[in-house]
Chain A
Amino acid sequence: MDILIEIQDTQGCVDDAAVAKIAEVFGMSKVDVLQTLSFYHFFSRQCRGKYTVYLNDSAVAEMMGRDEIAEVFEEEAGCKFGSVSEDGRIGLFNTSCIGMNDQEPSAIINKKVFTNLTKEKVKKLVQDMKNDVAVEDLESDGVASNILAKGPILIKDIDLEEAIKKAVSMTPDEVIEEVKISNLKGRGGAGFPTALKWKFCRSAVGEKHYIFCNADEGEPGTFKDRVILMENPELLFAGMIIGGYAIGSDEGILYLRYEYKFLEEQLEKVLESFRERNLLGKDIMGHKGFDFDIRIQFGGGAYVCGEESALIESAEGKRGEPRDRPPFPVTKGYLQQPTAVNNVETFCSVAKIIQKGAEWYRSLGTVDSTGSKLISISGDCERPGIYEIEWGFSINDLLKMVGAKDVQAVQIGGPSGCCIGPDEFGRKLAYEDLATGGSIIVINKDRDLLKDIVLNFLEFFIEESCGSCVPCRAMTVQYKKKLEKILAGKGVKKDIDQMLSWEKVMQMNRCGLGQSACNPVIATLTNFRELYESKLQNKEYVSQFDLAAAVKESCETAGRVPNLGGSHE
């Protein structure tokens, strides 16, 4: 991966010569290189321009006027999205959510992030690019953290050296026990108990144990990891060190999505200072035999790599396809060794739990969902940004807090989560009620929920499927076709029945992404069925066939005027 990223970053593509070279050096087949290369969104075989613009096309970006911005880019740069300008200077490409939902529209140009884009800013940007202004010097609003409510994780109230010192003065089993008492559950969304994962991993036999931090937050609408990495990476690294100590690992790997490449320099600096302070390295904090270091592994742009076994495959330099389980990563993970993969926020919580005690942690949140949660709020509200709340917070309170009015629906947990309407706003954010990895998108009454949101989410899943399992690869396309049919006013009741019946087929997929790829439709069919029904025709069958459209091209080619009079609809 590192080699591919380096080549892509320096020469703008990984061309055939580079592929041949990599194959030669590693004694691989060229197609071996290609199969990894072609999996990731940010790698390309053709050059994508001296300046490569990746404009976010996620649902919230579109809500915030992304299409207008795209038009200006195309006009000014003189090429369409998906292509490079004739002089090879500017390439325009779409990309899935880049974790800037609170400051959309936004784009990445050669690793640098440009937020809150307006038509004027885009015009200036393209002009500057035409004038060869270096990317570092291009004007940007920068990336704001937009922290609007701080809680136990975001408040910097502990001495991290003390926390690490305290952890290594305990036995690893004691550390795991403390985490167990805190009832901490994985913050990625699935909610697996952290202590249990560590216990399995610690007891698994292997030459070496690995601990991964999953910072591939790709769920559209989430950006909380980005904020932690910007504001308090020290806390994360402390958590990783404690986790590494607990499972008996000497190597921690931060798997970071390529979209956050702009954070690299700062994070490396933090790691360097940790090493200087003996928080990383040999005999950490004087604990003989506890050697541990952390390295950063970048991804290449693939949502599915947020799935832990896909992340491991990716870190091994392969296509990010989820693995069959069993075996689970805790027994056979990275390089077939026991591996624990935890979320950014999970590690942050661990550091606090160790320092302030499990009982303190349990006093926060609900009985089943202890502690706090960072949520990323975007969409139709006055104050999008990061809010740290205690579990058990209700949606109503949340909407009040963020200044949302005339709310039609709230999307909780991104496209793979659920979509609820006002009659359910009394529900609470908790593992036992509305579980979420952190993405919350507010959708007001002016939006066309099915077209603006559901269709966009389906396209996201089609694009981001790894392509391995049949239902995930093929059924998502069928869902999209059905939804388009209904949106075109040609749907019948049977179409809805079919979409519901397909859900079970989707559950046959190997990973969570695949299993939830139909959720945008199923959730809205459950909670907003009337939106679908209002578009249906009360017939048994409606033909989608359009004779005029079907004969257009052949008549043009033959140079004749279509005679549509003979058709009998």
Chain B
Amino acid sequence: MSKPIVATTSLAGCFGCHMSFLDIDERILDLIELVEFNKSPIDDIKTFTKKCDIGIIEGGCCNSENVHVLQEFRKNCKTLVVIGECAIMGGLPALRNNVAPISECLEEAYLNCVSVQANDEKIIPNDDELPMILDKVYPCHEVVKIDYFIPGCAPRADLIWNALVALVTGNEMELPYEVIKYD
């Protein structure tokens, strides 16, 4: 039987969840035996080269590119797993959701903030190549259907490992009290 294929990505996140993923330490050797990686920063494959079984997503959606990538994942992966607070509820990037309208955020960041220098033309970045900023940071499940949620900031390596093993083997996931944390 061929190995399940896994893809991962980080949207509006800090890559902390990927770091935590790598914290499974020597079990990474078991992981290589267990699955094959496709699009992922772990192996630096930039685009999907085949359909995947499991997509692992870190981070929420703060711009149009995040949305695009997330939608690509939904198309190419049978099962989507979001990991970390950012993917689940927006996380720290979503601190802006309740603060002010996005116009005010942009003006503060690029025009009014005391640390703004040398922006005499008063430009808010507007190059067409740049992703467009969303009005708020969206949790992934508000944009596409998500199958599983792994909370934490970052989720404990054990939790990610347990989840992945459960998904790959089809066994029920172990959830000891200590591994579910939101911080």
Pick the interface stretch among A137-145, A314-322, A549-557: A549-557
Measured between beta carbons, the chain B residues less than 8 angstroms from A558 are 106, 124-126, 133
> Is residue A446 within 8 Å, beta carbon to beta carbon, of the partner chain?
no
Residue of B nearest to A552 (CB): B135
B64 at the interface (CB under 8 A from A): yes
How many angstroms from the CA of A552 to the CA of B136 in the assembled complex?
A: 11
Q: How large is the interface on A (under 10, 10 to 19, 20 to 34, 35 or more residues)?
A: 20 to 34
Query: Given contacts A558-B125, A559-B124, A560-B126, are A569 and B134 in contact (CB under 8 A)?
Result: no
Cβ of B133: which chain A residues have Cβ within 8 Å of it?
551, 554, 558
A176 vs B145: C-alpha distance in the bound complex, in angstroms? 63
**What chain B residues lie within 8 Å of A545 (beta carbons)?**
67, 138, 142-143
B59 vs chain A, min Cβ distance (A): 16
B142 with A553: CB separation less than 8 A: no
Question: Which of chain A's residues 512-569 have a Cβ closer than 8 Å to chain B?
Answer: 540-541, 543-545, 547, 549-563, 566-569
| A556, closest chain B residue (CB) | B103
Main secondary structure of the interface of A (DSSP, over half): loop
Distance in angstroms from B50 CB to nearest chain A CB is 18
Residues from chain A with Cβ under 8 Å of B64 in the complex? 547, 551, 563, 566-567
Give every chain B residue within 8 A of A567 (Cβ-Cβ). Answer: 64, 67-68, 71
Measured CB to CB, the closest approach of chain A to B123, in angstroms, equals 8
Cβ-neighbour of A557 out of B71, B103, B142, B144 (below 8 A): B103
Q: B72 within 8 Å of A by Cβ?
A: yes
* Contact status B72-A555, CB under 8 Å: no
Q: Does B75 contact A (CB under 8 A)?
A: yes
Residues of A within 8 A of B142 (CB): 543-545
Inter-chain contact B132/A563, CB cutoff 8 Å? yes
| Assembled-state Cα–Cα distance A562/B143 (Å) | 19
A356 to chain B, nearest CB (A): 62
Cβ of B28 within 8 Å of any chain A Cβ, yes or no, is no
Find chain B residues with CB under 8 A from A569 CB. 71
CB distance from A485 to the nearest CB of B (A): 11
Which residues of B have CB within 8 Å of A568?
Answer: 68, 71-72, 75
CB-contact partner of B68 in A543, A561, A566, under 8 A: A566
B132 in complex: contacting residue of A540, A544, A551, A559, CB < 8 Å: A551
CA distance A563 to B135 in the complex (A): 15
Residues of B within 8 A of A554 (CB): 102-103, 106, 132-135
- A562 cross-chain contacts in B, Cβ below 8 A: 132
| CA of A515 to CA of B21, assembled, Å | 45
Query: A424 CA to B95 CA in the complex, in Å?
Result: 51
A553 touches B103 (CB 8 A): yes
Q: Is B41 an interface residue (CB 8 A)?
A: no
* Residue numbers in A under 8 Å from B125 (CB-CB): 558
Chain B: residues with Cβ within 8 Å of the partner, total of: 26
Q: How many angstroms between the C-alpha atoms of A557 and B142 in the bound complex?
A: 24
Q: Does B128 touch A at the CB level, under 8 Å?
A: yes
The residue of chain A having its C-beta at the shortest distance from the C-beta of B146 within the complex is A541
Chain A proximity of B29: nearest CB distance (Å): 36
Interface positions of B from 105 to 144, Cβ below 8 Å from A: 106-107, 124-128, 132-136, 138, 142-144
- Does A553 lie within 8 Å of B101, measured CB to CB? yes
Binary A-proximity of B77-114 (CB < 8 A = 1, otherwise 0): 00000000000000000000000011100110000000
Chain A residues whose CB sits within 8 angstroms of the CB of B67 once the complex forms: 545, 547, 567
Distance of A258 from chain B, by nearest CB (Å): 33
CA distance A569 to B64 in the complex (A): 12
**Complex alpha-carbon distance, A557 and B106, angstroms:** 8
Q: Tell whether, in the assembled complex, residue A541 and residue B107 are in contact, meaning their CB atoms are under 8 Å apart.
A: no
In the assembled complex, the Cα of A408 lies from the Cα of B52 at a distance in Å of 51
Most buried by A among B102, B142, B144: B102
Q: Mark B33-55, 1 if CB is under 8 A from A, else 0.
A: 00000000000000000000000
Q: Are B135 and A557 closer than 8 Å at their CB atoms?
A: no
Asked if B128 and A540 sit within 8 Å, CB to CB, the answer is: no
Which residues of the partner chain A approach B106 to less than 8 Å between Cβ atoms?
A: 554, 557-558
Shortest CB distance A50–B (Å)? 33
Q: Which B-chain residue is minimally distant from A549 (CB atoms)?
A: B135
With A554-B102, A557-B102, A568-B72 known as contacts, the answer to whether A543 contacts B132 (CB < 8 A) is: no
Give B115 Cβ to nearest chain A Cβ, in Å.
19
- Of B101, B127, B134, the residue contacting A551 (CB under 8 A) is B134
The contact string, 1 if C-beta is below 8 Å from chain B, for chain A 173-186, is 00000000000000
Closest partner residue, chain B, to A540 (CB atom): B145
* Distance to closest chain B CB from A536 (angstroms): 16
Q: Tell me if B128 and A560 are in contact (CB < 8 A).
A: yes
* CB-CB nearest in chain B for A539: B145
Max chain A CB contacts within 10 Å: which of B72, B132, B133, B145?
B132
CA distance A567 to B69 in the complex (A): 9
Distance A293 CA – B75 CA, assembled complex (angstroms): 76
> For A556, what are the chain B residues with a Cβ–Cβ distance below 8 Å?
103
Q: Is there an interface contact between A541 and B145, defined as CB atoms closer than 8 Å?
A: yes
With CB as the reference atom, state the residue of chain B lying closest to A568: B71
Residues of chain B with a CB closer than 8 A to A550's CB: 134-136, 138
Q: Which of A124-151 contact B (CB under 8 A)?
A: none
A551 partner residues in chain B, CB cutoff 8 A: 64, 132-135
Bound CA–CA A550/B71 (angstroms):
15
Tell me the bound Cα distance from A150 to B68 in angstroms: 68
- Complex-state Cα separation, A543 to B80, whole angstroms: 15
Once the chains are docked, how many angstroms separate the CA of A556 from the CA of B124? 10
- In the bound complex, CA of A562 to CA of B71 (Å): 18
Q: A550 to nearest B CB, angstroms?
A: 4
Interface residues of A in 351-385 (CB under 8 A from B): none
Q: For residue B71, which residues in chain A have a CB less than 8 angstroms away from its CB?
A: 567-569
Q: How far is the CA of A493 from the CA of B132 in the complex (A)?
A: 33
Cβ contacts A to B, 16 pairs, < 8 Å: A541-B144, A543-B142, A544-B142, A545-B143, A550-B134, A551-B134, A551-B135, A553-B103, A554-B103, A554-B133, A554-B135, A557-B124, A559-B126, A560-B126, A567-B67, A569-B71
Q: Besides A543-B144, A551-B132, 16 other CB < 8 A contacts?
A: A541-B145, A547-B64, A552-B135, A553-B101, A554-B103, A554-B135, A557-B106, A557-B124, A558-B125, A559-B124, A559-B126, A560-B127, A560-B128, A563-B128, A563-B132, A566-B68
9 smallest CB-CB distances across A and B, nearest first, come from: A541-B145, A554-B133, A551-B132, A558-B126, A560-B126, A557-B103, A558-B124, A550-B134, A545-B143
